[in-house]
Chains A and B, each alone.
Chain A
Amino acid sequence: MKRKFKIFRYNPEKDKRPYYKEYEIEIGEGWTVLDAINHIHWYVDGTLAFRRACRSEICGSCAMRINGKNRLACKTQIKTLGKGTIKIEPLPGLPIIKDMVVDLDPFFRNLEKVKPYFIKYSPLPEKEQLQTPQEREIINEAAMCILCGACTTSCPSFWANPDYLGPAALLKAYRFIFDSRDEGGKERLEIINDRNGLWRCHAIFNCTEACPKNINITYYIKKLQNLAVNNQF
């Protein structure tokens, strides 16, 4: 079966403006969008630049905008995209280096701000620290994040203000603040309880729609907002 792909192209060394280029290729049964752009890259046009690694929905490298919505190219079956041309663009809201390759620095800088690591001030226990299944349940979904960036770059608040921490960083903050073993909750809450933090979430739900791991990110941001409010009053 033949399918048309309309792909965003921009080479900073040659092009003044970005443009879209169409490719028509023969696709096989069960192909994902990543299979198709790999095919284009290998056999049709070697100048096409994009990131990919694991091709199994766990590394988060191949997040891009497919038919208007942020998705993982390796998770998106071409069959599910209906008929017609498939439009592929880089993630929105980030500087574009070349074609689908975006500069993820703003994304990871925001992530770093929430201290995305385990903090412990009391002496470390001799053995590993256990959690009850109930304690784990609270952070179970939030810990599934693969940091692909699909959520943060789908957020209109982040487009308008790249200093906004964004859903991914806030979800990571939730994952540690609500972890029964972590002791950095207070300092993290102080960081995210900021004009460029928690309160720029306006419940638009683009992050939840975009998340390839189906994490209800807005739900967790609201939990953090509730925590911040309850701590203050």
Chain B
Amino acid sequence: MLKPKWFYPSYKKDVGEWAWILHRLGGLALIFYLFLHIFVTNRLAAGPEAFNATMKALSTPVFKFLEWGLWGVILFHAFNGIRLVLVDFAGASKYQKLLFWIAFVLFLALWIPAAWKFFL
């Protein structure tokens, strides 16, 4: 007998599976950001010079781009989270696809224009 695999990337993904994958990966990214955030705030303990140096390193374009990405992850995780709460507690399973697209449009609408704020 041939053993089963633990995941089948070739399985046809509908919005539900995409939402789940993005939600999970986004969750991991947010946890990673939380540790980074604690580290950066902790630089305060090393004195004003050290903190200013860290802040300067964080204002490079690379970090600005990452910050914009972080904003996107937060938005998607939040809106899809609301969708999941509705599915869990309000019996909204029948409307999950519509809810996903509403969440996705809200996410794009708040994410893409925000680039202007981050980069200019």
Binding site for B on A (CB under 8 A): 10, 12, 18, 65, 67-69, 92-97, 103, 154, 156, 159-160, 162, 202-206, 208-209, 216, 218-219, 222-223, 225-226
Contacts and interface: CB of A to CB of B under 8 A. Distances in A.
Given A12-B2, A96-B2, A203-B84, A223 B7 contact: no
A65 B10 CA distance: 11
Contact of B17 (A96, A97, A204, A216): A204
Contact of B16 (A10, A18, A93, A203): A203
A159 B8 contact: yes
Nearest to A95: B1
A92 B11 contact: yes
A96 B87 contact: no
Contacts, number: 81
Contacts of B87: 203, 218, 222
A223 B87 CA distance: 10
Interface string B1-39: 111111110111011110010000000000000000000
A221 to B, nearest CB: 9
Interface of B: 1-8, 10-12, 14-17, 20, 84, 87-89, 91, 93-94, 96
Contacts of B93: 203, 205, 208, 216, 218-219, 222
Given A203-B87, A218-B87, A225-B88, A93 B4 contact: yes
A96 B88 contact: no
Contacts of A10: 2
A171 B28 CA distance: 31
Contacts of B89: 226
A98 to B, nearest CB: 9
A17 to B, nearest CB: 9
Given A95-B1, A203-B20, A219 B91 contact: yes
Contact of A156 (B7, B14, B91, B96): B7
